Homo-oligomer: A and B are copies of this chain.
């Protein structure tokens, strides 16, 4: 039985994050020692490692919740797991496309900036008047989702 700190080291997930996962029901409530400290066995460690890997692949916690409940029923078809992973792939591809467009525009802005004075700065100018950029994504309707 591992304490939360050992589990944290073993799975590569920070201690408060583990408690958070328990709070939102991604991990079952841990057993407790006589002194009320959490204790974890092999299963919890595997589950947590699964979660970490899925997070590294960018799956949102809700998708991970679904994947976990799928993995609890090994005799079912894996079509559902496939669908979740495909959706994630599509989301990643969409984000890449978006970011590549942003990159191009940022580069254009920077190349055009003569390094002079604010009044002549293309960076500021382009931001102030989008007509001055090539914006194929102009007036997209909603703002960016490239957070991070």
Contacts and interface: CB of A to CB of B under 8 A. Distances in A.
A65 interface: no
Q: Is the interface of A mostly helix, strand, loop or mixed?
A: helix
A117 B147 contact: no
A22 to B, nearest CB: 17
Interface string A12-35: 110000000000000000000000
Query: Range of interface residues on chain A?
Result: 35 or more
Contacts of A146: 58, 92, 95, 148
B74 A117 contact: yes
Given A81-B118, A117-B75, A148-B95, A110 B89 contact: yes
Contacts of A3: none
A96 B93 contact: no
28 contacts: A49-B129, A49-B130, A52-B143, A53-B128, A55-B144, A56-B130, A57-B144, A58-B99, A58-B102, A58-B144, A70-B118, A71-B128, A74-B117, A74-B118, A75-B119, A77-B116, A77-B117, A78-B124, A81-B113, A89-B103, A89-B110, A91-B148, A92-B99, A92-B102, A92-B103, A95-B146, A95-B148, A146-B148
